[in-house]
């Protein structure tokens, strides 16, 4: 990676970390399309590695309001979904994976506009975990199914539960990616370039995470996800 690529990805990481630590989701929706355009070979490993400290921080900060029951059922579904994600990674080419990432992100963003209010139950938790396991293992994007499940719960509870679910799932995905031969030392080393931006974005969220207008921030994430994913698909189809 050259300096320009590192700079652009770092800016995306800073913004994504700020939004994720503030709203509970958004990091992967912002960072994955940018990395897919500039350094696709590092997906999903770079995103999964960066989200480990990010979600550990959010889970620690919001621990007192964690939905422990929901997190357990999500974890079960998340574990099962990992195997589906590994299977997809094994059969898709880089072009097909880019299109899959773009379409998955667009679908997830659009769905969040139309789902009606509901109270999640065990089936909803497991289903959200299962879908997250598939999409996060293949692309690094896993927030939308969990955000859909918790979008009508208190924001702090959503942040805490999504963070701990992500943390568990990312560890599982990285273990299986290593076993299946998708985790390389050079990817781990290159991820270190983006840690300063991740830390800065996380710390900035501390000052406004209880004040920011969640509705408008969520809308921004969705618009960014749609536009960057559309660009990713266009680029993949033009190859």
Q: What is the pLDDT of residues 191-234, one digit of tens each?
A: 999 999 999 999 999 888 777 666 776 677 677 677 767 877 88
Could you tell me the CA-to-CA distances from 235 to 13, 100, 107, 137 in Å, in that order? 21, 13, 18, 22
Q: Is 4 left (phi over 0), alpha (psi -120 to 50) or beta?
A: alpha
Bigger pLDDT: 169 vs 10: 10
**Whether this model's pTM surpasses 0.75:** yes
| Total structural domains within the chain | 1
pLDDT for residue 90 = 86
Is the separation of the CB atoms in 36 and 21 below 8 Å?
Answer: no
Is the separation of the CB atoms in 12 and 228 below 8 Å?
Answer: no
- Which residue segment(s) compose the domain that 107 sits in? 3-237
* 154/150 Cα distance (integer angstroms): 8
Q: What is the pLDDT of residues 6-15, one digit of tens each?
A: 999 999 999 9
Mean pLDDT of all residues in 152-179 = 89
């Amino acid at each position: 990676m050259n300096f320009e690529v590192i700079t652009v990805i770092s800016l995306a990481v800073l913004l994504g970390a700020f939004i994720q630590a503030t709203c509970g989701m958004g990091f992967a929706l912002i960072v994955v399309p940018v990395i897919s355009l500039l350094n696709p070979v590092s997906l999903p490993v770079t995103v999964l590695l960066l989200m480990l400290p990010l979600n550990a921080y959010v889970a620690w900060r919001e621990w007192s309001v964690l939905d422990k029951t929901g997190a357990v059922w999500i974890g079960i579904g998340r574990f099962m979904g990992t195997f589906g994600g590994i299977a997809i990674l094994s059969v898709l080419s880089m072009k097909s994976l880019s299109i899959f990432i773009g379409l998955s992100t667009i679908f997830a963003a659009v769905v969040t506009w139309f789902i009606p209010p509901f109270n999640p139950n065990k089936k909803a938790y497991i289903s959200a975990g299962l879908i997250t396991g598939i999409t996060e293992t293949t692309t690094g994007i896993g927030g939308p199914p969990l955000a859909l499940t918790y979008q009508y719960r208190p924001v702090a509870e959503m942040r805490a539960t999504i963070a701990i679910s992500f943390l568990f799932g990312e560890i599982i995905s990285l273990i299986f990616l290593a076993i299946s031969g998708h985790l390389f030392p050079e990817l781990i080393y290159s991820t270190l370039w983006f840690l300063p931006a991740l830390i800065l974005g996380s710390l900035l969220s501390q000052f406004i995470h209880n004040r920011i207008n969640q509705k408008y921030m969520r809308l921004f994430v969705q618009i960014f996800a749609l536009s960057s994913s559309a660009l990713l698909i266009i680029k993949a189809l033009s190859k």
